[in-house]
Amino acid sequence: MEGRFSSTGSKAGRVAMYALALALASCTASADTAEQPDFAIRDIAVVLRSSEPFTRASDFPARVESTLDAALEYWGGGWDHLAGRSITFEGNQTVTCGTHAGAFGCFDGNIRLSTRDPAFPFSCVEQTVLVHEVGHAVIGDVAHEDPRWMDFGAVMARLDGRRGYTASGEGDCQLFVSVWQHPPDLR
């Protein structure tokens, strides 16, 4: 029986097979419980964990795509920088990013971002920190040393003037460049 597994093999062999079976079962279980995307843009999974009105608007997928396109152009990136990743829109005011529990957005290989400002809910995807997090996906720069972190005029010009959504219907989508900006981190 050389090269075959035998049910009458050694105790160590049975323990190893049992451990392998448990490991495979846990991989299958975690894959089955992974959150399914609500939709995809190109090769990017988009997950909605928010009930903000703009995330439920019929034009939301197109608005996410056009915001990503503007951000990628600004940062000098392409769709390949986001391919195979996910973007999760969270309903909480903050997301956890590494050891920082109070972030408005995070890029850790995938993008997670809040759909709420500390003072009010956002009315459109363009008001979120998506443009900022795309910057991390394209150039990295966790210390925010690139001067583009303080500019964003070109992105503002491209995305400004769109409508927003509130609980009572359509509203303004006023953009604030300060949402995307970040001064260089002090060392």
**Would residue 47 count as lying in a domain?**
yes
**Would residue 107 count as lying in a domain?**
yes
**Would residue 102 count as lying in a domain?**
yes
CA distance 21 to 4: 17
**Would residue 64 count as lying in a domain?**
yes
Residue 187 confidence (pLDDT): 57
**Would residue 110 count as lying in a domain?**
yes
Domain count across the chain: 1
CA distance 178 to 182: 8
Full domain range(s) for residue 86: 39-179
Scored b (16 or more CB within 10 A) or e, 146-168 reads: eebbeebeebbebbeebebbeee
Residue 128 confidence (pLDDT): 96
**Would residue 57 count as lying in a domain?**
yes
**Would residue 58 count as lying in a domain?**
yes
pTM: 0.80
Residue 186 confidence (pLDDT): 62
CB distance 142 to 90 below 8 Å: no
Determine the 3-state secondary structure of 131 from DSSP. helix
User: Which mean pLDDT values do the consecutive 10-residue runs of the chain (187 residues) have?
Assistant: 40 43 39 73 97 96 98 97 98 92 94 90 95 97 92 94 95 87 74
CA distance 115 to 165: 12
Determine the 3-state secondary structure of 68 from DSSP. helix
**Would residue 133 count as lying in a domain?**
yes
